[in-house]
Structure 1
């Protein structure tokens, strides 16, 4: 149990996801303030949690605030994160941390100049207990050599003025794929399709990694059903992290049999084994990790450098549209 006081965190941006951060940090005893350019929205959220509102102009000079969670429209993330670091504030920046490689690198550079501060990317699914269990299976060699990883994250809605389906949705799965492979891709090929306006509503990314792993990511915000699946194909077994499935079926491991005989490759399907997943909300675990890193002086599992790696892939993957 920690005996040192909890750091004091302000949430900047009181929209849907910022409100979730505020609620979670309040439950952890770390929320001290909220800020939003819409004063009425900030005031309402502050009233819910019994904390103060702070103008965005005053945030950086407020000595009672140790760190900031930035849940702003992404075009504002980079400049605000850099200003916060330069003001001596710890930061958790929601994804994407910027809308260009140059801006993302500016954030990483600012963080490198302040190694005493926590600079973390909000890749919340990295903290999902089912994904952590999947990471453990891969690290322990339970799936054998990983050959292929594919993700499908599709549904209907959330149309943003600045973000297409690729930039809004794919960062989730790219962060997971990068964590599992432990390396950056050497080849990225992307295709997007715009149905409603100039922004792509469908996007495919095909990735190739130096260790031999290949991967594809499919995202859509014009899909009649909701799917959130990450599938890992290994030489010994296959695993599926399905975030729409019931909790006790979130992580399925398949030991299908494959063999080659005189008639070619043969297969035999078996029922999946479901991993025992401990309880825990990903956002709660992410926010608690941010608080612990500030309090203990430890490096975050999802540094802003991870956010830059995702931006690099997204930027390369948006070259081709049809």
Structure 2
């Protein structure tokens, strides 16, 4: 597979996460410019990284620009991603890629009509070294058959005007769960609780998969402590990916013993075994993967179709509120 020169990449959206993308792409040597509807944000970020401050309306017509990273308020993601693909630009669009299934499908359809372009979803935790190590262990059968997956992602803030705790936070964990299961759920139940205003600050999702795996996701942006845990229950072992833990404790494996005798099911707990994981920032690894896919034509690990699958779950799970 032939490799091409490094692409010129523009970050569209100069807020918090867009600034992180700009810094990372600058460090990787591919940041060409930045753009935002707020000119002052554009100029500030462009000056910081010594790149071009661009007008949004000029980005897609500039033949020097090969790719864009979209870190916008999510209600603008779908239209901008479609416009970028139709203009011949590779796209990395942050999660969620849209706020409706119909809009997410438009992004996937635009990608299908431009198969030579990389169209990637920003599911950054897929590139976390601890999750990559966990995926490899599951593939090798070290956890046995996977039976249950649950995630807890809770903390205080941030409060967004357009999307609730489910839409804002759950895409992280749903992307991981879908990667582990390799299939879409056949049943989704969701319950959200709105405490501060009309948008849910707490949300639960319960998922059932065709292969028999069950899962639940709990998200909150109104919680007194931070927790970022993904737990995988297998027939041979259990694993916990804890993104709040120190680096050398982010992936723990538990070989708890379970057996059945005449008294019923019994258990014996053991101490966790911590897995050595490679160094590396997930965002750097994600952006490097995006660049490599552009240069070589290799398929992305987080296609926009994966983003659509997450939106479908969120839409189905957002029906019930208490």
TM-score by length of 2: 0.99
Aligned to 1:183: 183
2:3–2:296 contact (8 Å) kept in structure 1: no
Aligned to 1:123: 123
1:52-102 CA distances to partner (integer Å, 9 max, x unpaired)?
011110010011110000000000000000000000000000000000000
Aligned to 2:159: 159
C-alpha distance in 2, partners of 1:320/1:68?
36
C-alpha distance in 2, partners of 1:209/1:311?
16
C-alpha distance in 2, partners of 1:309/1:157?
26
Secondary structure of the structure 2 residue equivalent to 1:188: strand
C-alpha distance in 2, partners of 1:128/1:192?
28
C-alpha distance in 1, partners of 2:298/2:241?
28
Counting only pairs closer than 5 Å after superposition, residues 180-219 of structure 1 correspond to structure 2 as: 180-219=180-219
Runs of 4 or more consecutive aligned structure 1 residues displaced over 4 Å after TM superposition: none
C-alpha distance in 2, partners of 1:283/1:134?
18
Q: Displacement of 1:140 after TM fit?
A: 0.7
Secondary structure of the structure 2 residue equivalent to 1:42: helix
Aligned to 2:142: 142
1:23 equivalent to 2:23? Answer: yes
C-alpha distance in 2, partners of 1:106/1:5?
30
1:89-129 CA distances to partner (integer Å, 9 max, x unpaired)?
00000000000000000000000000000000000000000
Secondary structure of the structure 1 residue equivalent to 2:121: strand
1:287 equivalent to 2:287? Answer: yes
Gaps of 5+ in 2: none
1:133-177 CA distances to partner (integer Å, 9 max, x unpaired)?
000111111000000000000000100000100000000000000
Q: Displacement of 1:3 after TM fit?
A: 7.6
Q: Displacement of 1:256 after TM fit?
A: 0.3
Aligned to 2:51: 51
2:4–2:296 contact (8 Å) kept in structure 1: no
Aligned to 2:221: 221
Shift in CA distance, 302/248, structure 1 to aligned 2, threshold 3 Å: same
Q: Displacement of 1:5 after TM fit?
A: 2.4
Q: Displacement of 1:298 after TM fit?
A: 1.1
C-alpha distance in 1, partners of 2:253/2:47?
46
Aligned to 2:96: 96
C-alpha distance in 1, partners of 2:138/2:216?
18
Aligned to 2:7: 7
TM-score by length of 1: 0.99
C-alpha distance in 2, partners of 1:293/1:53?
26
Aligned to 1:270: 270
C-alpha distance in 2, partners of 1:296/1:106?
26
C-alpha distance in 1, partners of 2:78/2:193?
27
Give the RMSD, CA atoms, in angstroms.
Answer: 0.8
